[in-house]
Amino acid sequence: MERVNLLGADIDTYNFDDAVEYAKSKRGQVVTINPEMLEYAQKNADFANIIKNAELVIPDGIGVQLGLKILGHNVKRIPGIEFAKRMLAEFEGHPVALIGAKPEIIQKTVENLKKEFSKLNLVYVQDGYFADTEKVLHETADTKPELVLAALGSPKQEEFIYALKNRLPQTLMIGVGGSFDVWSGVVERAPEIYQKLGLEWLYRTLKEPKRFKRIFPALPLFVLKVLKEKWS
């Protein structure tokens, strides 16, 4: 396995199964990275430091896969939502904490996951709209989960996990973005054809046009930056 640098951040190039095995044995923080996060890391040193110290950084989407390709690395993306689901299966019976999303969403997510994983052992469940972060960090650490999934959006989920790391050094913790929205059944995942083509972002943008303003300018700019890095 190789760690390759893309716009200042080191990204791991495991295939899906090897990433799963590595995460299970290594534990610590998993960052599922996308172009927006790389962009943010260039402006924010604290966030860049979190990525640098993560035990595993996986290329979540087609944007990062494309960026790596431009630099000559053929790496397959690992969708964070699939990686996290696999971890729930791997950790069946072990203590798990779920933190994030709106109250009704996390409630539905728990219901659905319990149906899917009969031995799911949830020791802590908390929605993502809390005021007292220290309290939630403390409560999470107290329940001693072996797996933490944080769905707080980025950079909040990465900061939250980073703050938990020294309190739970043997725990695997993954920032999972909008995964609970999908698992709850409230937000549908893009149809398979979009997934296969790596065009989930396009599907989501069509469904939710306000994302367009956020995502669309970011992608070409990201590609330009990578090209600049390649030629410099």
**Interacting residues toward ligand UDP by CB under 6 A:** 100-102, 128-129, 151-154, 156, 177-178, 180-181
Instruction: Specify whether the CB–CB gap between 109 and 182 falls below 8 A.
Output: no
Two tokens at 112?
Answer: 């659905």
CA pair distance 142, 70, nearest whole angstrom: 45
The minimum distance between CB 18 and ligand UDP, in angstroms, equals 25
Of residues 27 and 63, the one with the C-beta less far from ligand UDP:
63
The minimum distance between CB 204 and ligand UDP, in angstroms, equals 9
Of residues 27 and 157, the one with the C-beta less far from ligand UDP:
157
Of residues 152 and 161, the one with the C-beta less far from ligand UDP:
152
The minimum distance between CB 67 and ligand UDP, in angstroms, equals 18
Report which residue's Cβ sits closest to ligand UDP: 128
The minimum distance between CB 6 and ligand UDP, in angstroms, equals 18
Of residues 27 and 174, the one with the C-beta less far from ligand UDP:
174
